[in-house]
Amino acid sequence: MLNGRTRTTAALAALAVTGAITLSISGSPAQAEPDIETVKARVDRLFHESEQAAERYNDAELELAELDSDLSSLESDQSRQGDALAGVRSDVRDSLIQQYQSGDLGATGELLSSDTQGFLDELSTMSTVEGIQDSLLADYGDELEAYDIRKDQTEKRRSDIKELKATLAEEKKTADAKLAEAKGLLSKLEDEQRAEFLSRNAGRPIDPSTIPASGRAAAAIKYALAQVGDAYVWGAAGPNAFDCSGLTMMAYAQANVSLPHSSRAQYGSGTHVAKSDLQPGDLVFYYSPISHVAIYLGNGLIVHAANPGAGVKVSDLDEMPYAGAVRPG
């Protein structure tokens, strides 16, 4: 388990480094004002690049939560080790005192070091403590070695996460710049053109009762469709704004299915299904590497938190580069 998360950290760091994309998209000052289709293509690309950064950040948050859990467990183990060693010292002292009082052992004062390693070294030389030496040294020595290994691994992971956070902080700045540029492009359009662009991204109303789904899938679809028109905000999971994995996570939470807040992590949370076998309620994923997720509605339609310019909407299944599908639960 630990090695798997360590590989996840390394993969995240590699993605964070390779995922950065420069912002050189603006035309020269003499270039004519772009038409609506050109602006739409640029804005969609900028929104996608921003979402990639946001989803990598979500992945890092999951990794950090796992690390916090490991550290808490390690601290508990350390405390138990201290209690165990105190018990060992007490048992050995009692045994030594009893043997000294019975005349089987000389003075004990110099044999009871307060230093942990010194104590173990001294204990290993005491042939007179019958029945204690072998079992105590073997058990405690094995536990101490395992603890040291876990401590080293955890400290290494902490260092990796620290480096990843610094990389993601820089990438977040890039993502913010891309989002600002996208909004700037939209603001340059005439009101009529901007209204046309937004209407194309507004989705279409669908009655959940018309979708052939039941159980968990029906509950998730009903919730997701009720959010159509809500805003897209990075890292949001309701009640009035969502990012892509935040929407799918909360939709399936209504069906008592727990999903992580990450599109890549959700891709591993269920049974993979072929595109030809899609059923309403399946999670569908986009791009390579995966950075977007939606809920399939049937009839070639999906509901998803699209981007900051469109919010939660209904779209065609193939509106984005398709990557795969999962059936949760």
DSSP structure class, residue 284: E
Give the whole-angstrom CA distance, residue 305 versus residue 179.
Answer: 16
Give the whole-angstrom CA distance, residue 265 versus residue 291.
Answer: 10
Which residue in 48, 244, 261, 272 is the catalytic one? 244
- 23 CB-near residues (< 8 Å, 6+ apart): 174, 177, 178, 181
Which residue in 48, 261, 272, 292 is the catalytic one? 292
244 is catalytic: yes
Give the whole-angstrom CA distance, residue 39 versus residue 43.
Answer: 6
Q: Which residues pair with 72 in a beta bridge?
A: none
304 is catalytic: yes
Please, what's the b/e burial string for 136-163 (b: 16 or more CB within 10 A of its CB; e: otherwise)? beeebeeebeeeeebeeebeebeebbee
48 is catalytic: no
Give me the active site residues, please.
244, 292, 304
